[in-house]
Amino acid sequence: MAAHPVDEKLPALKMATSGLQHVAAMYAGVVAPPLIVGAAIGLSGAELTFLTGACLFTAGLATFLQTLGIWKIGARLPFVNGVTFAGVAPMTAVVASTDDKSDALPIIFGAVIVAGLLGFLAAPIFSKALRFFPPVVTGTVITLIGVSLLPVAFGWAQGPNPKADDYGSTTYLTLAGITLLIVLLLRRFTTGFVKQIAVLLGLVAGTLIAIPFGVTDFSPVGDADVIGFPTPFHFGAPQFQLAAILSLCVVMVVSMTESTADMLALGEIVERPADEKTIAAGLRADTLGSAISPLFNGFMCSAFAQNIGLVAMTKIRSRFVVATGGAFLVLMGLCPMAASLIAVVPRPVLGGAGVVLFGSVAASGIQTLVRAGLDRDNNVLIVAVSLAVGMIPITAPEFYHSFPETAKIVLDSGISTGCVTAVVLNLLFNHIGKGREAQDVTHPMEAGEEIAAAH
């Protein structure tokens, strides 16, 4: 019996290039949190490079846990794990509230360890919520994941620094457009292996085209060391502060919610639906990876939604491809010079490729919604309201500005709020009082038979 595509081992060259595509797709997301937190602390350039390398290294370890798995740990799906951006706001808040900035990272690391261990224990309980995720919910959440990621791609397309005068310049936008065009042309007019690595080829071509414009910066390669190891507790032994722990525990709940949605989405895409057992194993990998990460000076880890788009687009579903990407991440953590090669790719080039990747996630969500029974008004309302709530942080970023910072950690994640809204509305419309459910209305703005009769 042939192996499922998820368990397929591809030829070495195809495994390596496809793995590199995953690293390229998620690199900016992994390095952004340490750069932001490190800058807030005031780390030197060398320490900032060390912290970034440590996060790459721990992302690789977490990816191994998720893809290869041990015991009941790991979803064994093509998932890339890396530093969750949801933790940036509370971590910078910890930095701001710490008088001695040298204590900031140890306090953050202590909070991540506790949150990770508690999340690991809670994973089996959390996974039992799977029955609350029918296609109408999962389709909505998958669509939200893609739509929520698109602003990231648009931000990348405008340039590396939002405060710079040339941010959003025609040069940056042109480079993003050229990269997008190259990827589309490769997908349209090539076949086989070349078609599958279209994103990687687009990133390489876009980077080369950017050289005459002075956008490609090769200095990171020259400045980087060849070998470097993330020494355990380099910034000091972890400290355990209650406020920081509570704040990062909230982030862990948000992260677990998003990871659950991501696993359901990826299960649909690779045609191996994620059941309760898979969700529990995947959450254990996320949380254990987070708990181990501070040992090597890394932050909280979670599944990266942007790589789901790459799987959806390339149709390469092998978890061993993603494990190979994890090996590259570990290598980058041990070899700063290797990490700097990915850093050479200009942000606008990443943005052009990101439009395809993240748009593919939204398209997968729409495909799931097609099977969700949208001929029933209940389901249409569930999708309509959930999408609206989930898009609040995207369309109105200051909407929750008056809420407490702890609440904003959850509310500013459109994926989480949309997911919770979809689950609650599905319970309300499709489970509670199901016997009284009307089946005759096919559109939320269309009158039912009883209303029409009354008129």
CB 353 within 8 A of CB 176: no
Model confidence band, residue 2 (pLDDT cutoffs 50, 70, 90): low
Handedness of CA 102, 106, 111, 112 (dihedral sign): positive
Q: Classify residue 78 by its DSSP letter.
A: S
pLDDT tens for 337-394 read 766 666 677 889 888 988 887 787 788 778 878 878 787 888 899 999 999 998 998 8
CB 56 within 8 A of CB 332: yes
Q: What is the predicted pLDDT for the residue at 442?
A: 42
Compute the half-sphere exposure of residue 319: CA atoms within 13 Å on the CB side of its CA.
Answer: 23
Q: Which residue has the tokens 């910072």?
A: 405
10-46: buried (b, 16+ CB within 10 Å) or exposed (e) per residue? beeebbebbbbbbbbbbbbbbbbbbbebbebbebeee
**pTM value surpassing 0.85:** no
Angle at 311 between CA 310 and CA 315, to 5 degrees: 120
Q: Classify residue 81 by its DSSP letter.
A: E
pLDDT tens for 45-90 read 677 778 888 888 999 999 999 999 888 898 898 888 888 876 776 7
By residue count, the chain amounts to 455
